[in-house]
């Protein structure tokens, strides 16, 4: 889809759809209507407001009302999309509304549209609408056949600036950044949606390297012998039940000059390309979506794709331990004691608590480089979805400054995130009678004890853990989300990097 900024009068905008985002008050009260709404309604001789009233359209968030323009404006149809209550409006609502428009366009075979940007801070409006249209236009069709394999038809979208505004280089840069970020998120979605037989650890590593070469990132992939040489006993144990070889993936953005020595940011993504549960076998209904257990790594990879464009004045490293968790004859067993990269020993009480084992070794490896901040993303626990539902990721950290930075970035990105307690009173739940740790705690506070387990492997490095088990996959179509991978985490990480880069550049 090609996106451009436009200053054309809305009544003169050509194409299949003329899109007008509206608040509830604009429908209920003619005096509250925007100049754009009034102008289009006048061009339609009042038919827009009359028809909306007749159809009981109230502009509830993401609600859609469409009418044929009957030749009174240049677009074939006029589309109202609801933004809800203006007193409770957040920019994410505009992003979701734009995603809803993209889905409507696909279902009605629209090829082009003009989207009237609402009267609000223009950079935020451009970002939200561009991201919403591109994310909402996403559809994973790689394994469909016939007509179902065809991509959505929307190929052209014009973002109409409010009356009196002219495009600036800053606006154009904002648009291009939004396009790049949405494309990186959709690329990450593709990784997650791909079935595990076509997204093995080896293939994931190949995709990562190909992307890195395209984006100008450093990339290296280490094999089993290299992993053994580094003493990553937990990672190797999880991998040993599968015929698929494990891969240790390392990507990096390395700035030039003195910036190369600036405090680094390190990102770690859980990369279990399929999780059967191992010998603690999952039931079928719990296993069918386990191709998505590498969504943390996809988020990190998608973020790195966009971060290469941001070019921050500090290094950014990405680490992933890719493997399958399978119940083969060589699989690790309950009661086994593993020796981690950090030297700590871990007794296995559940082989389906494998993600924290691999992450523990990768976090220990990444922390050895002493980054300024270490963040991991993982579909780690079902308990986080029980606690927060399917719309909020869980944030764990004992550093208030780090928590604030991540929550602010997530809020700006539109990815709902809630800080969870990293309650030290539960630390005793992962003590083992025969080893330093066991890999699961008691039933209660499962997401907290999982985070406390990870904390054991970061030392004194500032660290945060994002549990995205509830948000990595959407169970229904809504806004810019399709059924399947959401791409959550990509936008938060990129926004965090943008903010750190801006802060460093302002000091310089």
Q: Which residue numbers are catalytic?
A: 282, 356
Residue 170 corresponds to which tokens in the numbers above?
């800053």
Do 292 and 487 touch, CB atoms closer than 8 A? Answer: no
505 three-class SS: helix
| Residues in the chain, overall count | 508
Maximum Cα interatomic distance, the chain, rounded to a whole number of Å: 81
Measured at the CA of 246, the angle between CA 240 and CA 248, to 5 degrees, comes to: 135
How does 408-444 read in b/e, with b if 16+ C-beta sit within 10 Å?
Answer: ebbbbbbbebeebebeeebbebbeeeebbbbbbbeee
Give the C-alpha separation, 227 to 219, whole Å: 16
> What crossing angle do the helices spanning 446-455 and 355-367 adopt, rounded to 10°?
30
> What crossing angle do the helices spanning 47-54 and 35-43 adopt, rounded to 10°?
100
Do 367 and 430 touch, CB atoms closer than 8 A? Answer: no
Cβ neighbors of 365 (< 8 A, separation 6 or more) are 230, 232, 319, 341
Residue 340 corresponds to which tokens in the numbers above?
């981690």
What does each C-alpha distance from 12 to 101, 274, 370, 481 come to in angstroms? 20, 52, 58, 31
Judging by beta carbons within 10 Å of its beta carbon (0-12, 13-18, 19+), is residue 170 exposed, middle or buried? exposed
Q: Tell me, letter by letter, the H, E, C secondary structure of 155-222.
A: CEEEEECCCCCCCCHHHHHHHHHHHHHHHHHHHHHHHHHCCHHHCCHHHHHHHHHHHHHHHCCEEEEE
Shortest CA distance to 315 belongs to which of 246, 233, 259, 269? 259
Dihedral angle over CA of 48, 49, 55, 56, nearest 10 = 150
Give the C-alpha separation, 124 to 415, whole Å: 15
Residue 127 corresponds to which tokens in the numbers above?
């970002």
Give the C-alpha separation, 145 to 236, whole Å: 39
Cβ neighbors of 286 (< 8 A, separation 6 or more) are 277
Shortest CA distance to 113 belongs to which of 6, 262, 228, 30? 6
CB atoms within 10 A of CB 171: 18
Do 86 and 59 touch, CB atoms closer than 8 A? Answer: no
């Amino acid at each position: 889809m090609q996106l451009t900024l436009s200053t054309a009068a809305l009544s003169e905008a050509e194409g299949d759809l003329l899109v007008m985002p509206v608040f509830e008050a604009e429908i209920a009260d003619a005096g509250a209507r925007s100049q754009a709404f009034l102008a289009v309604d006048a061009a339609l001789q009042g038919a827009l407001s009359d028809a909306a009233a007749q159809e009981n359209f109230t502009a509830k968030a993401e609600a859609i009302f469409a009418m044929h323009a009957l030749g009174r404006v240049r677009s074939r149809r006029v589309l109202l999309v609801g933004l809800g209550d203006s007193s409770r409006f957040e920019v994410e609502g505009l992003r979701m509304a734009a995603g809803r428009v993209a889905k409507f366009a696909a279902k009605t075979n629209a090829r082009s549209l003009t989207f009237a940007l609402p009267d609000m801070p223009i950079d935020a409006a451009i970002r939200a609408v561009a991201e919403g249209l591109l994310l909402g236009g996403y559809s994973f069709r790689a394994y469909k056949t016939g007509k179902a394999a065809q991509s959505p038809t929307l190929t052209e979208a014009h973002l109409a600036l409010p009356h009196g505004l002219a495009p600036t280089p800053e606006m154009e840069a904002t648009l291009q950044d939004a396009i790049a970020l949405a494309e990186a998120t959709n690329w990450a979605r593709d990784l997650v949606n791909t079935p595990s037989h076509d997204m093995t650890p080896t293939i994931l590593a190949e995709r990562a390297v190909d992307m890195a070469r395209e984006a100008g990132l450093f990339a290296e992939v280490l094999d089993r012998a290299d992993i053994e040489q580094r003493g990553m006993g937990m990672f190797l144990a999880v991998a040993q039940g599968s015929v698929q070889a494990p891969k240790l993936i390392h990507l990096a953005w390395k700035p030039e000059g003195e910036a190369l020595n600036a405090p680094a940011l390190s990102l770690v993504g859980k990369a279990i390309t399929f999780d059967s549960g191992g010998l603690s076998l999952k039931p079928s209904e719990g296993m069918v979506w386990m191709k998505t257990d590498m969504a943390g790594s996809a988020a990190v990879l998608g973020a790195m794709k966009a971060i290469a464009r941001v070019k921050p004045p500090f290094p950014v490293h990405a680490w992933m331990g890719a493997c399958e968790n399978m119940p083969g004859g060589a699989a690790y067993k309950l009661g086994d004691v593993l020796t981690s990269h950090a030297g700590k020993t871990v007794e296995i009480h559940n082989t389906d608590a494998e993600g924290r084992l691999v992450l523990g070794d990768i976090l220990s490896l990444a922390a050895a480089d002493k980054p300024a901040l270490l963040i991991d993303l993982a579909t780690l626990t079902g308990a986080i979805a029980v606690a927060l539902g399917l719309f909020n990721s869980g944030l764990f950290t004992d550093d208030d400054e780090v928590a604030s930075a991540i929550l602010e970035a997530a809020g700006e990105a539109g990815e709902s995130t809630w800080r969870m307690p990293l309650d030290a009173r539960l630390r005793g739940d992962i003590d083992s009678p025969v080893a330093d740790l066991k890999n699961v705690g008691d039933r209660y506070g499962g997401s907290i004890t999982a985070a406390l387990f990870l904390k054991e492997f970061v030392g004194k490095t500032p660290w945060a853990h994002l549990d995205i088990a509830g948000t990595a996959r959407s169970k229904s179509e809504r806004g810019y989300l399709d059924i399947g991978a959401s791409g959550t985490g990509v936008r938060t990480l990129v926004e965090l990097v943008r903010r750190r880069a801006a802060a460093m550049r302002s000091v310089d």
